[in-house]
Structure 1
Amino acid sequence: MTHEGSHSLFSTLGAVIPHFSLHRSGSGSGSPKRHPVLQEFENKLVEKFDALKEAGEELGFLSIDWLLQALSVVLSTHANVEALIPNLTFPLSSRDDKWVDEYLDDSAKLLDVCNVLKEGISELNEYQMLVQVAIRNLQGKDGKDANYYRARNALQDCMGVIKKKDTEYKQGHAKSKLESCSSMLRTMGEKLVNPKAMEAVKGNGFLNAIYGAKVTTIFLCGLVVIALACKPKRPLVNLHVSSQCLWASSLLSLQQRVKEETDKRKNKGSIALLGELDNVDLLVRRLYEVVDKKLNEKSVFFNTEEAEELRVLVQEFATGSENLGRGLAPLEECVNELFRLLIASRIALLDILSSSKEK
């Protein structure tokens, strides 16, 4: 998967340093004014949030395809930040030290988020392997009892995986990595409620755009985290952003729709918020009941109505597993790309700041 501008957020910044001054001054000059290129950046962000909302209605919020589109928004937003750099100055006042420290701290936390997401995806891949074992044995041509015993064991293991993930979220148990990750993102989101961090940059377009990219990353990565979890105890990341951001209303509208859909899923009794995983989990439980009942009754599946019902159910199971599996590799690729972006950005920013202090 190729993402336009997927190199460092600050790589272009290093290249254009001779064209503007990176200095520290006691106060800014003039009143805050939105740069026309920043205006374009924010308009694009409005379009992306609106498109995500529309795609959610079509694909299903927190489905694999929707999450891929959400992560694509994160990556392209970072790329659009780079496009701002050649057109903007970057004056740093003494108060901007806090912004730099916060950015470096937040990017380190987002690197941890990427690692947890990769572990979550790896767990789903292992779950998929068990599902495939069950499918191969249920689709066996010989119809031997041994196949059904192996299928039942694999289905039982699948239920054990989901039960373990579910148990991790119940009170009295230590937080799982995904739960801890969700809490960390929620805390980062709460820090964004106060607009003073934006006031300190006095309308500098680049830092405002960085703020937009950070909000986008915290919100959408938070959704990927809860999608990979089971019955998260805490609510979704709830962001409150300043109305001075052109994209604020689009973000809040999307946030509300996602909340409505996830609440509906929870009230329905779904263990998994990831649409495809929830579907496969339901089929795992149904097939286990059917196969276990037949093995306990010591009856055989002949060309009967029951055998046809089983065949249809297994085919549905195979399709559900395919829908889940095909999105995991692209999802992991997006997470890896975000990890590379964050690493490169940290290195480039530190190099630029170090150079500016030497001048």
Structure 2
Amino acid sequence: MTHQAASSLLSSLGSVLPHFSMHRANSLSMKRHPALQEFENRLSEKLEALKVAGEELGFLSIDWFLQSMTVVLATHSNVEALIPDLPVSELRDDKWVDECLDDSAKLLDVCNVLKEGISDVEHYQTLVQVALLNLDHNNESNFSEAKFHRARNALQDCKEAIKKKDTEYRQGQPKSKLENCSSMLRTMGEKLVNPKGVNAAKGNGFLNAIYGAKVTTIFLCGLLVIALACKPKRPLVSLSVTSQYLWSSSLLSLQHRVKEETDRRKNGGSIALLCELDNVDSSVRKLHELLNGNSALTTEKKSYPSSFQSVEMRELVEDLRKNLRHLGSALGPLEQSVNELFRILIHTRLALLDTLSNSK
């Protein structure tokens, strides 16, 4: 790939995803504590596995996001496990404690926004289920004008719900909570400072572990925030990651593939970056168009059964049902993962405060 092509690829995605760039590390590599070595090895392995999963499941699919959340959870759990052995006397007077607590508070806010975003998708799912209930082929004999109108109105509500999310981002309306969350993550990224020199070695490398957890969370949770929205336009932060970390190349490689997929979906006209949500939206629009084309049914009652049994109608209803099933099956587990991240962040805060208190 030419330098110009590479630059174009990176700039084309600046509005959708945190950008990570890797600089050359100092000529002398930092001597790693065994616990930090293990942490970095684990993170590198999980990021590599996440890339493989993306090739198999599809980047930006809901199953892939479920796996990405397991990486975030494991990373924060590993950070929490390092706290009991933390030599606090070495770190007690540093400002890193306040920064760590402040960032974790912001990540708690991110969890709350993600849960609301998932709840919005669940509401959208309910609207689609109403349409499917009224288009149930198992009850064709009871198909009526009222059911026809209820199905068509429910599909129209689905289109309006997606349009509203899209409008919040594109038509100068007040920011949605998801967009505010993206802005907050961007600000966090701009303020991230890579531990260097003496600070990098403090606490047996604990600050480096914290840094790795923050970068991973901003990257993956920031991507999930975007996927739950529709065509976000605001650019996100550009983060700098040095090559001193064992996980740096794995993160950059994963980011590159995700960027390619995100760029492809945007250029393809996708409404939502979350694959399953976009598939449901596509099915909703096709079915709604078909029902609108058969508006003569409202005056020709005898046409209901024959039209309802049409191959095209059956195929569209089945496609919508299948796509909705794929979306709905993972929403619950995804919300549980966000709740678990919230819990771990709280426990880490309490463990850190407790350790600092006991050291005094």
AA at the equivalent of 1:202? A
Deviation at 1:159, TM superposition (A): 0.6
In structure 1, the residue matched to 2:177 is: 177
Q: Percent of pairs identical after alignment?
A: 66
In structure 2, the residue matched to 1:115 is: 112
Q: How does 1:197-208 map to 2 (within 5 A)?
A: 199-203=198-202, 204-208=204-208
Find the residue that maps to 1:240 and give its secondary structure: strand
What runs of 5+ residues in structure 2 fail to find an aligned partner?
1-28
Find the residue that maps to 1:241 and give its secondary structure: strand
Post-superposition Cα deviations, 1:208-265, rounded to whole Å, max 9, x if no partner, equal 2121112111111111101101001024554321211110111011111111111111
In structure 1, the residue matched to 2:318 is: 315
In structure 1, the residue matched to 2:65 is: 67
Find the residue that maps to 1:239 and give its secondary structure: strand
Deviation at 1:183, TM superposition (A): 1.2
- Structure 2-normalised TM-score? 0.85
Contact 1:167-1:173 within 8 A present in 2 as well: yes
2:100 corresponds, among 92, 98, 103, to 103
Contact 1:99-1:197 within 8 A present in 2 as well: no
Counterparts of 2:323 and 2:130, CA distance in 1: 14
In structure 1, the residue matched to 2:190 is: 190
Deviation at 1:279, TM superposition (A): 0.2
Contact 2:68-2:220 within 8 A present in 1 as well: yes
Relative to structure 1, is the Cα distance of residues 240 and 178 closer, same or farther in structure 2, using a 3 angstrom cutoff? same
C-alpha RMSD over aligned residues: 2.1
Relative to structure 1, is the Cα distance of residues 178 and 264 closer, same or farther in structure 2, using a 3 angstrom cutoff? same
Counterparts of 1:189 and 1:228, CA distance in 2: 20
AA at the equivalent of 1:331? L
> Number of paired residues?
325
Counterparts of 1:169 and 1:316, CA distance in 2: 29
- Structure 1-normalised TM-score? 0.85
Find the residue that maps to 1:202 and give its secondary structure: helix
Q: How does 1:5-154 map to 2 (within 5 A)?
A: 32-85=30-83, 89-93=87-91, 97-139=94-136, 140-141=139-140, 142-154=142-154
Q: How does 1:159-174 map to 2 (within 5 A)?
A: 159-174=159-174
What runs of 5+ residues in structure 1 fail to find an aligned partner?
1-30
Counterparts of 1:41 and 1:218, CA distance in 2: 18
AA at the equivalent of 1:66? W
In structure 2, the residue matched to 1:329 is: 332
AA at the equivalent of 2:117? G
In structure 2, the residue matched to 1:6 is: none
AA at the equivalent of 1:321? L
Q: Which moved more, 1:244-253 or 1:168-177?
A: 168-177
Contact 1:42-1:245 within 8 A present in 2 as well: yes
Deviation at 1:347, TM superposition (A): 2.1
